[in-house]
Amino acid sequence: MPADLSKHAERLNKASLASLAASRADDAPLSASGWKLNLARQYLDKDAETALLTFGKKAGLEAAAGRLFDGEIVNPSENRPALHWALRAQSPLEGEAEAVRQSVLPALEFARKMADGSVTASNGKPFQAVLHIGIGGSDFGPRLIADAFGDKATSGIDLRFCANVDPFDLDRALEGLDPESTLVIGVSKSFGTEETLYNLNRARAWLEASVGDKSDQHLALVTANPDRAKSWLGGREAHVFDMPLSVGGRFSLWSAASLACMIYLGADIFEGILRGAADMDAHVKSTPVAENMAMRLALLDYWNASVRSEKMRVLLAYANRLRMLPTYLQQLEMESNGKTVGPDGVGVQTATAPALWGGEGSVGQHSYHQWLHQGSQAVPCEFILAPDMERDPEGVTALTAHALAQAEVLANGRSLEEVKAEEPDLTDIVANQKVHAGGRASSFLSHAKFGPEAFGALIAFYEHRTYFAGHLWGLNPFDQWGVERGKTMATRLKPAVSGEVKADDAATAAIISMIRKG
């Protein structure tokens, strides 16, 4: 960590956040793809920001962007480029990037054929339901899209999701569905994910019990391992779509992994999402560090986590369409950068990605905002204001006012003197309980005309921010060894859970005994 950043942090820790914000209130917001970003309420001033920008330039953020968009190897663990951005490119590319761009087109065409009746169920009638089976990156993105824009669906499709290996998840998803009018979509990059295969096997049996040998017409598989998928099919045919190897699971929202959303919402809406993401890509690719929104937020992440030692960040989405965004970003950021060892095998010397959590505003105001305002830990918050401006103006005004009020109170607090001046009849005992410490940093991101394009741009922004933050920390954001280890151990423990052997770990063995005794 650069020494000058530490010195600036020590200096600013003694400053009033309200005063810092006032001195920066007139700074022009950062902007990209219709999104505006205000950073006034962060523990930064001009000198610290200049030092942070210098650090970003020396760290090679612009060169890192070049390597990503030039298709160079940025995932050394697998010796691959990261070409998720190519899925949303709006014009032909070259080499492998063009193959990636092309890979999503058959899924879009399939969605259009379902819409016009060219693709039907085995009885020749239209599909009435789609069941999406996947987990992790093969689940969070499609769920987020479907939840965000479900009101725009015109397909008449009943869309269900299943991810958990808990049998009740699939039972719940299948409830009320008719197998003769249901398309089951299985998404697994490796086609070896235990949870997905377990649920696919059960769903296939459910189909076969009603449609028999024609069940293959009710199956669509999305994978980077078509040979393993064909083996699972056992010689039968099914609709199979490509998930490119150079697209990581948590970056695959743009691919055929979102086939269910293309069907449910229509190909046109999904293409709008892709256009918005491509527009953000253009901003990130060509904009210098100082004006580059993704690079600036990556630098802020470094500043707060590595320099100021903040262990958490709270995402407050003041948009019902984005209520699932915190869940989606937990995987994107914490699986990507939740590491302490770089691709060279050497431990990094600073704190890395903070824990990310949050929820929907203003719902959270009646829950954990109490902790944010008066709890013992001051946690940086990230506000996203993106209401549906065409809906009831009174509600939009109230939502906006609530978001602004929360950010203001978090930063400015409420002193004992203010409490007594506003409520002179209070006893000191009660007045002290109404004091807000303030000094709680936040950033504020907003969009005036939120829709599919703005959504695509926002998700692409977070992807790039995650990549750049990983670069600053010296990490590879495109592998996940911690996840893989847990899968391996689960496989090893199955015989112990079944009672065939005893677990090697004493505590695990004791817990299994406790479970089996009931």
pLDDT digits (tens, 9 = 90+) for 29-53: 999 999 999 999 999 999 999 999 9
List Cβ<8 Å contacts ≥24 apart for 425-431: none
Q: CB-based contacts of 352: which residues, under 8 Å, 6+ apart?
A: 305, 306, 337, 338, 339, 340, 473, 475
If you search the block for the tokens 């409520």, which residue do you land on?
423
pLDDT given at position 235: 84
Does the annotation count 310 as an active-site position?
A: no
Residue type, 242: D
pLDDT given at position 487: 85
Question: Do 434 and 459 share a domain, yes or no?
Answer: yes
> Considering the domain boundaries, does residue 76 fall inside one?
no
Question: Do 166 and 109 share a domain, yes or no?
Answer: yes
> Considering the domain boundaries, does residue 352 fall inside one?
yes
Question: Do 148 and 244 share a domain, yes or no?
Answer: yes
> Considering the domain boundaries, does residue 281 fall inside one?
no
Residue type, 470: G
Q: What is the pTM of this model?
A: 0.96
> Considering the domain boundaries, does residue 132 fall inside one?
yes
> Considering the domain boundaries, does residue 387 fall inside one?
yes
Question: Do 422 and 510 share a domain, yes or no?
Answer: no
In sequence order, what are the beta bridge partners of 315?
358, 382
Does the annotation count 487 as an active-site position?
A: yes
Cα–Cα nearest to 65, from 285, 283, 281: 285
> Considering the domain boundaries, does residue 282 fall inside one?
no
Quote the strand ranges of 3-119, DSSP E: 30-32, 35-38
**Residue pair 409/383 in contact by the 8 Å Cβ criterion:** no
β-pairing verdict for 35-38 and 30-32: antiparallel
Does the annotation count 285 as an active-site position?
A: no
Question: Do 444 and 341 share a domain, yes or no?
Answer: yes
Q: CB-based contacts of 429: which residues, under 8 Å, 6+ apart?
A: none
Which structural domain range is residue 145 located in?
A: 84-272
| Side-by-side strand order, sheet with 381-385 | 30-32, 35-38, 442-447, 381-385, 312-318, 355-360
Half-sphere exposure of 350 toward its Cβ, with a 13 Å CA cutoff? 26
Question: Which domain-ending residue is among 214, 241, 272?
Answer: 272
pLDDT given at position 486: 85
Question: Which domain-ending residue is among 217, 242, 272?
Answer: 272
Distances (CA, A) of 468 to 251, 280, 348, 458, 462: 14, 14, 16, 15, 10
**Residue pair 250/135 in contact by the 8 Å Cβ criterion:** no
Question: Do 135 and 160 share a domain, yes or no?
Answer: yes
Q: What is the CATH number of the domain that holds 388?
A: 3.40.50.10490
Cα–Cα nearest to 332, from 445, 460, 472, 244: 460
pLDDT given at position 507: 97
Question: Do 60 and 163 share a domain, yes or no?
Answer: no
**Residue pair 150/180 in contact by the 8 Å Cβ criterion:** no
Q: What is the CATH number of the domain that holds 486?
A: 1.10.1390
pLDDT given at position 39: 97
Question: Do 148 and 203 share a domain, yes or no?
Answer: yes
Peptide linkage before 362 cis (omega within 30 of 0):
yes
Question: Do 40 and 156 share a domain, yes or no?
Answer: no
β-pairing verdict for 35-38 and 442-447: antiparallel
> Considering the domain boundaries, does residue 77 fall inside one?
no
CA dist., res. 227 & res. 225, Å (int): 6
> Considering the domain boundaries, does residue 278 fall inside one?
no
Question: Do 453 and 362 share a domain, yes or no?
Answer: yes
Cα–Cα nearest to 388, from 339, 318, 471: 318
pLDDT given at position 488: 87
2 SS3 class: coil
Question: Which domain-ending residue is among 272, 295, 327?
Answer: 272
Regions of the chain short of the pLDDT cut 70: none
Which among 195, 335, 382, 453 is annotated as catalytic?
335
Which among 366, 394, 500, 517 is annotated as catalytic?
366
In sequence order, what are the beta bridge partners of 444?
38, 383
pLDDT given at position 460: 98
Question: Do 88 and 182 share a domain, yes or no?
Answer: yes
Name the domain count of the chain: 3
List the structure tokens of 153.
């669906």
Question: Do 393 and 339 share a domain, yes or no?
Answer: yes
Please classify residue 63 by burial: count the beta carbons closer than 10 Å to its beta carbon, then call 0-12 exposed, 13-18 middle and 19+ buried.
exposed
